Structure 1
Amino acid sequence: MGAGIVGLAHAAEAVARGLRVCVLERDDRAVGASIRNFGHIATTVQDGAALEYARVARERWLRLGTSGGFLVAEAGTVVVARSAAQMGVLEEFAAARGVDQVRLLDRPGLARLFPPACADGVSAEVVGGAHLPLDLRVDPRSALPALAAWLVGEGVEIRWGTHVGTVEDGLLLSSRGELRAERIVHAVGHDADRLFPGIAQEYGLRRCRLRMLEVAPPSDVRIDPAVLSGLSMLRYGGLAATPSAAAVRRDFEESAPELVDVAMNLMLTQRPDGSIVLGDTHHYARTHLPFDDEDITGLVLREGGRLLGAPLTVRRRWVGVYADAPATDFLVAAPYPGVRVVSVTSGIGMTTAFGLAPVVLDGLL
């Protein structure tokens, strides 16, 4: 149940195994974390189990893009380095992963993939960068509906606008009646605590609230890859594990502590219409107040303007929310023998869900 990317990934895996599948989704379409994100399939920068899942998911995305008729761009990711310490992270990462995964870039090479790197006021700050060619991009606002439609064509029943109030072994009670099933996957992201508060408490489940913007592209620039920054080196396991990452953190704590305070991951992707999705900051609580602090938006715009080399015009703004659990990136719990509560608790559901789903179903079946 749940028609976000984690729920649909489990549905796709179940169909591939020849199972009969029904998805229950409380809204009339996916409106949560799965369409509010960057559409960045950030395979390379993961570490540990997340990297294993991401590698499997990458191949699945490519196949599903062809089957489902939506674009999966193989433009990779560019990481921009603005200091010797940040370049040190990339050099260490390249040494660990190899040239097929991490290609170091000098300033001219970076500018070819990310033209704003040579803009006035930006180029003086840029030391170099790296290209991660294996990473993918999708437009989540079109990919998720296309994926759901493809699943329906494969025989999956999706019951939109159906709220589930009770989950037991072999039984769901919903706003549209009961549904009996031999196996149930409860994939509702940060709302796992609604029906399973004990599991949520055990894992320390909370909600991560993100500040996200869509801005006009300066000078109609075209940026094919996703773009990460030095702040990204503090958030992704593969980059954060390098020896130089500690020096990068110290630099930010000394020069821009306000960015560390809001846990900013300065990054961007460009949508098909040219708009740039820019963000993001991270704020953690079980229950958030509904009010937005415009000062935080100002920080995102300030740093985004530095990265893109121009003042930015906001076209849309929104709040993203995803599940977070300090102890794990992947919450998988079994409240009953035939039920699994599943949530990607690290903001990398788009990157890992198609790799996680086979592991969950192996255990459930």
Structure 2
Amino acid sequence: MVDSFDLAVVGSGIVGLAHALAAARRGLRVVVIDRDRQANGASIRNFGLVVVTGQEPGASRRQAERTRRIWLELANEAGIEILQRGKLIAAQRPEALAVLEAFKAGEHGADCKLLTARGTIEQLGGLNGKAIIGGLFSPFELRVESREVLPRLTSFLAERFGVVFRTGISVTDVAPPVVETSAGRLRAEKVVICPGDDFSTLYPLRIGKQGVQRCKLQMLRLAYPGFRLSSALMSDLSLLRYGGFAGLPEAGALRSKLGEQNASALANGVHLIVVQSADGSLVVGDSHHYGLALDPFGSEAVDRLILDEFKTLFGKVPEVVARWTGSYASARNAVLRDAPHADARLVIVTSGTGASTGFALGEETITELFG
């Protein structure tokens, strides 16, 4: 007898789970299929930071706002711990401060707080006062521990909604209502494919036509520094990584200044995000290198660029206790959304913002498929 479902989701990363959640909340019968036994990809190799402020105005910003609300709902419903709230951007250069001032004066800056140098240092423990000339505090960001949240969310979906998980199984063909897998055939009226950076298993030609490539990043975990962070931290380099800041006219002068003073960091796509785990250790990163085929090895020189930026803001660097690389899909647009079949949707977040926009994307896709 062939198992039958309303929806099959291919991929159990955060984007796949977001679609499963949106469907399960409608009372639909859902199965999630993944070739891995557990989440090992980009969804756990990140900061666990839900970013709202700095998202590109328009769809990305709206999706981030909605996704944030769902994370807060899940904190209550699924017992997901919010480790930090808010985000501080510490400016080191007048050009960076000008970007923050322009953002504060714009459409999405009203609820953010522009800070003096003293106010920035008082906002977050451990900062090196000599390096900072001002900052901006956003109250919207949420930080979760990704490697703990993915298993917790999986259990929640199974226990609360009866979502079925089939792991260690590859999907070989999708032709709704038939889904062919390495463990046999199942039936699903609708199918959502969330393959992350797997561009070759399903719909490789459709993905290839969208110009999607891989982005490799490097991250580190540092030992407890002796202080607690009340929020996430970003720096001048980060302002060029987010469309809500990088799209401002004032960002041109900052890019030029960083090109003069920190060309190696720009060339390696380095910016600084610092968050803190429950045990006090810090997650720090990251870098960005692009291509269709990227080696899995980290570079000590790139790690050093990240740690140099950390040292500038904090004065000293705690012991490095772990290092890793990640890989995610990247393209010009923030999301690849395609309809290879009337009852199937291909959804790939191509901006590294799955945790920040994924839940809203899931709702949008399920509404499109089921009305």
Q: Distance in 2 between matches of 1:129 and 1:97?
A: 18
How far off is 1:31 after superposition?
A: 1.1
Q: Per the alignment, in what secondary structure is the counterpart of residue 135 of structure 1?
A: strand
| Aligned-partner residue type, residue 176 of structure 2 | D
| Aligned-partner residue type, residue 150 of structure 2 | L
Identify which of 27, 50, 53 aligns with 1:44: 53
Q: Per the alignment, in what secondary structure is the counterpart of residue 353 of structure 1?
A: helix
Q: How does 1:1-365 map to 2 (within 5 A)?
A: 1-47=10-56, 48-73=58-83, 75-97=85-107, 100-117=110-127, 119=128, 123-153=129-159, 154-218=161-225, 220-326=226-332, 328-365=333-370
Q: Which runs of 5+ in 2 are unaligned?
A: 1-9
How far off is 1:73 after superposition?
A: 4.3
TM-score normalized by structure 1?
A: 0.95
Match of 2:3? none
8 Å CA contact retained: 1:2, 1:186: yes
| Aligned-partner residue type, residue 215 of structure 1 | L
Q: Per the alignment, in what secondary structure is the counterpart of residue 278 of structure 1?
A: strand
Dislocated runs of 4+, deviation >4 Å: none
Bigger helix share: 1
Q: Distance in 2 between matches of 1:70 and 1:272?
A: 13
Q: Is the alpha carbon distance of 1:162 and 1:76 closer, same or farther for their aligned partners in structure 2, counting shifts above 3 Å?
A: same
Q: CA RMSD in A?
A: 1.4
How far off is 1:271 after superposition?
A: 0.9
Q: Distance in 1 between matches of 2:122 and 2:107?
A: 23
Q: Per the alignment, in what secondary structure is the counterpart of residue 130 of structure 2?
A: coil
| Aligned-partner residue type, residue 227 of structure 1 | L
Q: Distance in 1 between matches of 2:103 and 2:165?
A: 42
Q: Distance in 2 between matches of 1:204 and 1:256?
A: 29
Q: Which runs of 5+ in 1 are unaligned?
A: none
8 Å CA contact retained: 1:44, 1:101: no
How far off is 1:100 after superposition?
A: 4.8
Q: Per the alignment, in what secondary structure is the counterpart of residue 133 of structure 1?
A: strand
8 Å CA contact retained: 2:18, 2:362: yes
Q: Per the alignment, in what secondary structure is the counterpart of residue 96 of structure 1?
A: coil
